[in-house]
Every structure is written in C-alpha cells, then in structure tokens.
Amino acid sequence: MTTYKYIHNPSIVQNDCLKQVNVLIQGDRIIKISEIEIEDLPLRTEIIEAKGLILLPGIIDTHVHFRQPGLESKADMQSESKAAIAGGVTTVFDMPNTAPPTTSLQTLLDKLLLAKENMLCNYKFYLGITNNNLEEALQIDPNLICGYKIYLGSSTGDMLVDKKQAIEGLFERSNLVITAHCEDEKRIRQNTALYKEKYPNNDAPPSIHPLVRDAEACFLSTQFAINLAKNKTHLNIAHITSEKELSLLQKGKVNTKHITAEVSPIHLWFEDKDFERLGNKIKCNPSIKTSKDREALRKALREDKIDFVATDHAPHLLLEKEKPYFQAPSGIPSIQFSLPIMLELVKQGELTLSQLQEKMCENPATYFGLEGRGFVKEGYYADLVLVDLNNGFEVKQENILSKCKWSPFEGVVFSSKVISTFVNGQILYRD
C-alpha cells in the first residue's frame, strides 16, 4: 500500500533565507512542495506538524568507520546507523579498514550482504587500495563502490600504501574519486621515535599527539597527493586539519573542481588545548591541532576551499582509550552529534545555514553522483531531517547511541537538536 506523509509548515533553506512550505511525500519520494496549504490530501495521509522547525535534506556523511565486519566489539552497522539517523544522517560512506579489510571483490560483496541485513540508513562503501591489489580494484564494477580509499599515512588498521608503483598506478588509471588519508609516514615515525625517547617510561601525555602527527606531516603528504592527481583523476583529501595544507587548495564550487577536501566537525570544534581535559578521548588521525588551525579551517569552509563536512566517525572502546598514549587507538565517535555541532557553529556566525546544507548535503550528492539525494526537491528521495534551532539538549551517556557508549561531547549542551529523521520516506527517528 502506498503511504503518504504531509510535513506541515516547516521552513526550508534557500539562498540564505528561510521559506515556509508544505511538503507531501508519496512512498519514498517528495511529490509536492508548496508555499500554500496542499488541499485534498490522500486518505490516511500522516500529518507531521512542523511549524517553527527547519527542514533540511538528510545529511550525507562521506567518511565513517562502522567497524563491521570483524570489529563488532567496538561498533556495528546497526548500532552506528541508529546513531547516524538520530543525528540526522541518512547516507553514509563506510571506509575499508575492517577485519578483513574491504580490498577485494569478495570482501566487498560480503560487506554489501551484511549491510543489506543490518544498515538502517543509505550506504555506499569505499574499496581500499593496498600495495598489491590495484589490478583487481580497477576491474570492480564502479557502481558497487563510491570510490577508492588510499592511506598514505598509517592509521587504524594495517592499510598503509607505500609502494610507488601502486600509488602512481592508481592515480594514473582511476576513473573514480580517490579519497586519501594524507600524513607523511617517514616524518611520523621520526617524531614517534623522538617522543618515545623523551618518555621512556611510557608516560607520554596525550597532548603530544599534535607534535607526533604534526602539520608538516599533513602538508608533505597532501602536497604529494595533489601533485600526483593534477590533470589525472578526482582526488578528495580526507579530514584536512592544518592551515598549511589549505595553501594547496583552490577556492571554488565543488562542480568546478578536480581536487576537493573534507573537514570533520571534530577539527572545527576542538583545539590542542583540549587534550589537557579530554586526553586520548580526542586522539585521532590526523591530530587535532592549534586554535589558529581551527580558525583557518572554519574560514576555508566559508570560502569554498573546503567542500565537505564528514565526521570520520571511528568508535573505540573506552577501555582502549584509557591506555597509555602510545597504546591508545586513534579515532572518535561523533556521527550522532555532527549536525548539532555544525548548527552551533551557525549560531556562532562561523557559517550560514545555506553553507551547512551545501557542505553536508548538496556537495556530497553532487560530487559523488548520488542521484535524487542531497536536496529538498520534488521528485527527490524523501531523505529529510527536521531540526529545532531553539530547543537544545545535553549530551549524556544515556542518550549516546553508538555502541561504545561514550563521547568527548558528554556534558556539552547544544542549543539545537534533531526532531525527526526520514530515510526514503520512512520516519526512523522521532525526538
């Protein structure tokens, strides 16, 4: 039976203005948007009263780690897609560093089967590049993946690519987006050795993380990747963190670019001084850097040097995070709170609602070719989120839905919150 939903009197964002509309959904699609009341609604239409609320396209998070298969003690597809939907995220791109890693056709097909059984939101998967799988990777049906992921610096999982032939071959031959984790491995190893010598008793404070994985390591690797990509392929720099890297990027709208960049809400929110308070809870790769870097990232987002906001959501168990610095894993769970973070930055004047919508919804859909998603438009999928800009909430352990059940945002009071999330026309979250 066809279902109908009528979202009554929300405001949508158009050209930095709010416009009150009425939205009729049939099945999984938006069939009508009207500034006046829609008369003669179909029988049994569900009416959602939304006066005073903002209706945004569902958030598209192009960088997540849902940990399944193999790392289900930390997180799984069902738990993390629940957290995503509670945060207004309706589509995710999951990374390949699972166990086993998604680096072959068979591991990809196995993961797609798991997703069909467990994912509650829309999803796409990256295929990971290794030193030895390039030929198989390039033969995989491009419709099965959202792009290739290459680690030019080591991070969680053993997926560092350091063989020149594999790196150059990928950049020469890829017809899909290459998303690159850019940190210079040689510099990181040198810095690590230096600080292990300085702290021989394994008592290094987490505050050294921005010194071990420093801005220069990011710059060298990002520069290397951009030089390889010029005039060859579409390159997306994952999680930009430093002011110095921004000098390598060009301003412009996403549909005019060969080289794009993403930033995480984590790096727009925290600064290196927060290590004193939060320790390994904010240890991630690349590292959180200085307040000067953070302000530069916010400015670059406003000025269209940075194209996407993506979380790099990466859960670990709290027991793992409580280990000494050099043993504690890198990664932060954040997907449930990415939209509230960005709405907070809107209220602080760091960007506009239109820019938020562009970086979190429209640009990902446009750049990665997600047909019918990313916009509030007639004929598009009803992936939608209703938010209240004037009714906040406090992050507490009991309202954290990620399986790891902790967040560096515990105790933070956000002034906006998600009220409802629609995925393909179905309401999967209510306040």
> In which band, very low, low, confident or very high, does the pLDDT at 407 lie, cut at 50, 70 and 90?
very high
Residues 198 and 293 occupy one common structural domain: yes
Q: Are 422 and 428 in contact (CB under 8 A)?
A: yes
Q: Residue 164 is inside which H or E element, if any?
A: helix 164-173
Looking at residue 92, its pLDDT comes to 98
**To 10 degrees, the CA torsion angle through 317, 319, 321, 324?**
-150
Looking at residue 300, its pLDDT comes to 98
Whole-number average pLDDT of the chain = 96
Residue whose C-alpha is closest to residue 362's, from 383, 343, 345: 383
Residue 39: which CATH number? 2.30.40.10
Considering 339, 367, 395, which residue would you say is the last residue of a domain?
367
Q: Is the pLDDT higher at 157 or at 126?
A: 126
Total number of domains in the chain: 2
Residues 283 and 333 occupy one common structural domain: yes
Residues 65 and 39 occupy one common structural domain: no
Looking at residue 297, its pLDDT comes to 98
Looking at residue 49, its pLDDT comes to 98
Least confident of 56-70, 108-122, 148-162, 212-226: 148-162
Residue with token string 């949508």: 12
Q: Residue 276 is inside which H or E element, if any?
A: helix 275-278
pLDDT tens figures, 252-275: 999 999 999 999 999 999 999 999
Residues 88 and 71 occupy one common structural domain: yes
Q: Are 198 and 204 in contact (CB under 8 A)?
A: yes
pTM across the whole model: 0.97
Residues 144 and 246 occupy one common structural domain: yes
- Domain hosting 21: range is 4-55+376-430
Considering 329, 347, 367, which residue would you say is the last residue of a domain?
367
Q: Is the pLDDT higher at 165 or at 87?
A: 87
Looking at residue 431, its pLDDT comes to 83
Active site residue ranges: 312
pLDDT tens figures, 394-404: 999 999 999 99
**To 10 degrees, the CA torsion angle through 294, 296, 298, 301?**
-140
Paired tokens of 59: 């958030």
The pLDDT of residue 155 is above 70: no
Residues 272 and 359 occupy one common structural domain: yes
Residue whose C-alpha is closest to residue 368's, from 232, 251, 239, 260: 260
Cα–Cα distance measured from residue 418 to residue 430, given in angstroms and rounded to the nearest whole number: 8
pLDDT tens figures, 187-220: 999 999 999 999 999 999 999 999 999 999 999 9
Paired tokens of 139: 């033969």
Q: Region 323-349: what's the mean pLDDT?
A: 98
Residues 22 and 96 occupy one common structural domain: no
Residues 315 and 417 occupy one common structural domain: no
Residues 119 and 169 occupy one common structural domain: yes
Residue whose C-alpha is closest to residue 330's, from 151, 198, 84: 151
Q: Region 149-164: what's the mean pLDDT?
A: 75
Considering 367, 394, 411, which residue would you say is the last residue of a domain?
367
pLDDT tens figures, 292-318: 999 999 999 999 999 999 999 999 999
Residue whose C-alpha is closest to residue 330's, from 185, 210, 195, 245: 210
The pLDDT of residue 156 is above 80: no
The pLDDT of residue 391 is above 60: yes
Looking at residue 157, its pLDDT comes to 52
Looking at residue 158, its pLDDT comes to 60
Looking at residue 154, its pLDDT comes to 58
Residues 267 and 338 occupy one common structural domain: yes
Q: Are 377 and 12 in contact (CB under 8 A)?
A: no
Number of H helices, E strands in the chain: 15, 18
Cα–Cα distance measured from residue 81 to residue 97, given in angstroms and rounded to the nearest whole number: 17
Provide Rg for the chain, Cα atoms.
21
Q: Are 55 and 40 in contact (CB under 8 A)?
A: no
Q: Is the Cα dihedral 247, 251, 256, 262 positive or negative?
A: positive
HSE-CB of 270 using CA atoms within 13 angstroms: 30
Residue whose C-alpha is closest to residue 271's, from 292, 284, 290: 290
Q: Are 314 and 402 in contact (CB under 8 A)?
A: no
Residues 157 and 11 occupy one common structural domain: no
Residues 290 and 409 occupy one common structural domain: no
The pLDDT of residue 355 is above 80: yes
Residue 105: which CATH number? 3.20.20.140
* Chain centre distance of CA 103: 21
Looking at residue 153, its pLDDT comes to 63
